[in-house]
Amino acid sequence: MTARTGSDTMHIGELAERTGLSLRTIRHYDDVGLLPATARTDGGFRVYSEDDFERLMVIKQMKPLGFSLEEMAEILAMLASLSEAPPDAGHPARLAEFLERAVHERAKMARNLAQADDFIERLTRLR
């Protein structure tokens, strides 16, 4: 599929700038199927949409929580299907597992951050 860039699309450089991710990371996510480009220009350059930006931001949120690429793909698929389902469709058990894991990993990161803060405070007092 080819497309011309317009106000509703962006090249990979703009996407990288908006997300704070490197071109290499975005290309990797494309290569592994997490973030396929919406289209390509006639010259073969990747073109991304606002939906792609939102998808990449979700990937960026999952990354520090330790989810594998396969788990990220599964979560993204679940999120997409839930956004299309009626509001009373409920949440699958697998989504609850991912939520529990995300909460656990976040708590672990918060403990590590508190330890880092304590260390910085200790060094600051020694100055």
Both 24 and 67 in a single domain?
yes
Yes or no: say if 60 and 21 are a contact pair by the CB < 8 Å rule.
Answer: yes
95 and 84 in a single domain? The answer is no
Q: Give the C-alpha separation, 34 to 124, whole Å.
A: 43
Same structural domain, 97 and 116: yes
Please count the other Cβ atoms lying within 10 Å of the Cβ belonging to residue 94. Answer: 12
Q: Are residues 57 and 83 in the same domain?
A: yes
Q: Is 14 helix (H, G, I), strand (E, B) or coil?
A: helix
Phi first, then psi: what are they for 9, rounded to 5°? -130, 165
Q: Which helix (H) or strand (E) holds 11?
A: strand 9-11
Residue 83 has a pLDDT of 76
Q: Closest by alpha carbon to 11, among 31, 37, 35?
A: 37
Same domain for 1 and 50? Answer: yes
pLDDT of residue 2: 39
Q: Judge if 83 and 114 occupy the same domain.
A: no
User: What pLDDT shows up at residue 114?
Assistant: 98
**Domain total in the chain:** 2
Shared domain check, 71 and 36? yes
For residue range 16-30, what is the model confidence (pLDDT) as tens digits? 999 999 999 999 999
Q: Answer whether 70's CB lies under 8 Å from 78's CB.
A: no
User: Per-residue pLDDT for 1 more than 50?
Assistant: no
State residue 118's pLDDT score: 97
CA 76, CA 42: separation in Å to the nearest integer? 29
pLDDT-based confidence at residue 88 (cuts at 50, 70, 90): low
Whether residue 2 is found in the same domain as residue 21: yes
Q: What is the pLDDT of residue 3?
A: 41
| Residue 114 host element (H or E) | helix 93-126
Return the pLDDT at 5.
45
How far apart are alpha carbons 55 and 36 in whole angstroms? Answer: 10
**7 has pLDDT over 70:** no
Range(s) of the domain holding residue 96: 91-127
> Does residue 63 share a domain with residue 120?
no
CATH number at residue 46: 1.10.1660.10
Instruction: Quote the pLDDT of residue 87.
Output: 57
